[in-house]
């Protein structure tokens, strides 16, 4: 076990490029830099690598964007959290640049991605399934006819036996569609995500991420700074190198997306009826767990619950801001599209009318809500989908607390870029993180309503 010398220290344990002709190239001594990208809304990892070519290997191998890239990177003292892509290597798919460094060498930059991404684009699923959705997803990911992945899977159990047909779709498209209909067996939440992190492939709900313990505490400004000249690696890891609040609840976007208010009309083909369901941000705020999970006192709306007009409307009162129409075949308890060999209905119907509005609101909260971007010293135990604590200081002096009482708190990492620089031997992480609540409640009191003025209509003659 190597000793940790400084925050951002890392060890490149293996970097092997295998060409389409079988030529094996050890890149450890020739790499200048490489990056790995993770995204909570992406099904696969991606990245790029830059290395020095002094022996014209780009022609002799050749390197054509059809190679396997074996990587293994670790943070000293965190051997259990190595990024290990030696069992299932990356695949290169594009040679980006070839730049002459001098007369005897050139710089090569190659893009790579998870092999499952290329497999997904090559095959299609045309099959019916009768199982829980988590069982269907696991089957597709492990099936040798489809994705056939050997990676670690993190699949959350879902409720109900479903009978579904995949109409000749790419596997990842089908799984993404299934995520929209999935309901957690544990607590009935509908916020399922399908994504890959450096620790494996995930089909799980956002609430299951909220329930996990935090993976790091980070602070902006003087918080976490070293005192004096003595190096404190732990404080250096906690220090935020660069920071910005990139989004602060876009009211217009949140109205259009349905985050603040929406409705769905479900037309039941089986009994020729329809039912309208609505979502109101203020009234339904506590329907499911939020970023602080069971510590509900720390989850408060990011908008005021006061009236916004003289008709006692709040921002969530306008549930027709976005309307959905959804047809179903259901007796209420069972899906009436399918029956078993005895003509008995026994399969669970989809729960779109109970889930869609909450699901679209939650995802809007993470895309157009409270988002921060920051750069920190890297470690291999951090990946997309992890929870972190961020302490943000207040501006000025006359405050009752040293930190921002609204924005400080738990955040979910939604995007992450690992940057490894072989010349400086430093690992940095640039990440985006989001939260769906304020740490403290907004002050009570009605929202100021503009005084009414006399309405006039002018007739124009021309």
Residue 279 lies in a domain: yes
pLDDT reading at 126 higher than 50? yes
Give just the sign of the alpha carbon dihedral 381, 382, 386, 389: positive
pLDDT attached to residue 455:
76
Both 148 and 185 in one domain: the answer is yes
The CA–CA distances, whole Å, from 57 to 84, 89, 107 equal: 25, 20, 11
pLDDT digits (tens, 9 = 90+) for 21-46: 999 999 999 999 999 999 999 999 99
pLDDT reading at 224 higher than 60? no
Percentage of the chain lying above the pLDDT 90 cut: 68
Residue 178 lies in a domain: yes
Whole-number Å distance between alpha carbons of 402 and 398: 10
Residue 370 lies in a domain: no
Q: Which of 360, 379, 403 is the last residue of a domain?
A: 360
What's the domain range around 24? 11-113
Both 45 and 96 in one domain: the answer is yes
Cβ atoms of 445 and 392 within 8 Å: the answer is: no
Burial 191-216 (b: 16+ CB within 10 A, else e): bbbbbbbbbebbbbbbbbbbeeeebb
Both 71 and 137 in one domain: the answer is no
pLDDT top residue among 150 and 347: 150
192-197 and 200-205 strand pairing: antiparallel
Both 170 and 258 in one domain: the answer is no
pLDDT reading at 4 higher than 80? yes
pLDDT reading at 302 higher than 70? yes
- Give the pLDDT mean for 98-126: 93
pLDDT reading at 212 higher than 90? yes
CATH number at residue 107: 2.30.110
- The candidate with the shortest Cα–Cα distance to 39, out of 446, 427, 458, 413, is 413
Residue 421 lies in a domain: no
Number of compact structural domains in the chain: 3
CATH number at residue 148: 3.55.50.20
**Which of 42-56, 133-147, 245-259 is predicted with the least confidence, judged by mean pLDDT?**
245-259
- The candidate with the shortest Cα–Cα distance to 95, out of 42, 53, 38, is 53
Whole-number Å distance between alpha carbons of 425 and 10: 7
Whole-number Å distance between alpha carbons of 337 and 352: 15
Whole-number Å distance between alpha carbons of 112 and 123: 20
Both 76 and 153 in one domain: the answer is no
pLDDT digits (tens, 9 = 90+) for 363-388: 999 988 899 999 999 999 999 999 99
pLDDT band at 353 (very low <50, low <70, confident <90, very high): confident
Residue 47 lies in a domain: yes
Residues in a beta bridge with 153: 201
Residue 391 lies in a domain: no
Both 104 and 159 in one domain: the answer is no
pLDDT top residue among 247 and 88: 88
Cα angle vertex 191, ends 412, 375, to 5°?
15
Percentage of the chain lying above the pLDDT 70 cut: 90
Whole-number Å distance between alpha carbons of 7 and 237: 5
pLDDT attached to residue 223:
47
Both 98 and 41 in one domain: the answer is yes
pLDDT reading at 155 higher than 50? yes
Cβ atoms of 378 and 36 within 8 Å: the answer is: no
Cβ atoms of 241 and 428 within 8 Å: the answer is: yes
Q: How does the average pLDDT of the chain come out, rounded?
A: 89
pLDDT top residue among 102 and 278: 278
User: 120 phi and psi, to 5 degrees?
Assistant: -60, -40
Both 155 and 205 in one domain: the answer is yes
pLDDT digits (tens, 9 = 90+) for 177-188: 999 999 999 999
- Give the pLDDT mean for 9-30: 95
- Give the pLDDT mean for 128-156: 96
Both 341 and 272 in one domain: the answer is yes
pLDDT reading at 440 higher than 80? yes
- Give the pLDDT mean for 399-407: 78
Cβ neighbours of residue 256 under 8 Å, at least 6 residues apart? 321, 322
**Which of 103-117, 211-225, 255-269 is predicted with the least confidence, judged by mean pLDDT?**
211-225
- Give the pLDDT mean for 422-433: 96
Both 108 and 156 in one domain: the answer is no
Q: Which of 185, 211, 237 is the last residue of a domain?
A: 211
Both 108 and 124 in one domain: the answer is no
Both 278 and 300 in one domain: the answer is yes
Q: Which of 316, 345, 360 is the last residue of a domain?
A: 360
The CA–CA distances, whole Å, from 250 to 256, 317, 397, 437 equal: 10, 17, 29, 14
Cβ atoms of 95 and 107 within 8 Å: the answer is: no
**Which of 9-13, 57-61, 198-202 is predicted with the least confidence, judged by mean pLDDT?**
57-61
């Amino acid at each position: 076990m190597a000793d940790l010398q400084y925050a951002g220290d890392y060890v490149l344990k293996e970097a092997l490029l295998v060409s389409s002709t079988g030529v094996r190239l050890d890149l450890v001594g020739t790499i200048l830099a490489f990056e790995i990208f993770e995204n909570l809304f992406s099904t696969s990892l991606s990245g790029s690598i830059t290395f020095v070519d002094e022996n014209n290997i780009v022609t002799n191998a050749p390197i054509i964007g059809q190679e396997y890239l074996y990587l293994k990177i670790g943070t000293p003292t965190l051997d259990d959290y190595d990024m290990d892509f030696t069992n299932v290597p990356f695949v290169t798919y594009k040679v980006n640049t070839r730049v002459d460094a001098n007369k005897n060498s050139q710089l090569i930059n190659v893009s790579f991605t998870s092999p499952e991404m290329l497999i997904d684009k090559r095959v299609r699923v045309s099959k019916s399934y009768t199982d829980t959705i988590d069982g269907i997803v696991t089957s597709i990911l492990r099936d040798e006819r489809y994705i056939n992945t050997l990676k670690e899977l993190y699949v959350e159990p879902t409720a109900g036996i479903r009978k579904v047909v995949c109409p000749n779709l790419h596997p990842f498209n089908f799984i993404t569609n299934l995520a929209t209909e999935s309901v957690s067996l544990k607590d009935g939440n509908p916020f399922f995500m399908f994504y890959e992190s450096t620790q494996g492939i995930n089909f799980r709900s956002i609430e299951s991420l909220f329930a996990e313990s935090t993976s790091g505490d980070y602070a902006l400004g003087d918080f976490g700074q070293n005192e004096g000249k003595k190096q404190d690696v732990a404080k250096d890891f906690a220090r935020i190198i660069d920071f910005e609040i990139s989004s602060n609840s876009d009211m217009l976007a949140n109205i259009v997306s349905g985050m603040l208010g929406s409705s769905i009309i479900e037309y039941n083909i089986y009994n020729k009826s329809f039912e309208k369901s609505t979502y109101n941000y203020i009234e339904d705020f506590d329907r499911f767990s939020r970023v602080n999970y069971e510590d509900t006192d720390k989850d408060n709306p990011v908008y005021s619950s006061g009236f916004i007009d003289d008709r006692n409307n709040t921002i969530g009162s306008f549930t027709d801001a976005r309307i959905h129409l959804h047809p179903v075949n259901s007796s209420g308890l069972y899906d009436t599209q399918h029956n078993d060999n005895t003509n008995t209905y026994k399969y669970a119907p989809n729960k779109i009318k109970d889930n869609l509005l909450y699901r679209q609101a939650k995802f809007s909260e993470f895309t157009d809500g409270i988002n921060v971007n920051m750069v920190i010293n890297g470690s291999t135990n951090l990946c997309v989908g992890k929870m972190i604590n961020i302490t943000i200081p207040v501006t000025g002096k006359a405050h009752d607390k040293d930190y921002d009482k609204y924005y400080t708190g738990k955040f979910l990492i939604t995007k992450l870029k690992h940057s490894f620089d072989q010349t400086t031997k430093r690992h940095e992480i640039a990440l985006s993180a989001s939260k769906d609540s304020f740490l403290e409640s907004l002050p009570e009191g009605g929202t100021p309503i503009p005084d009414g003025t006399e309405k006039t209509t002018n007739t124009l003659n021309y």
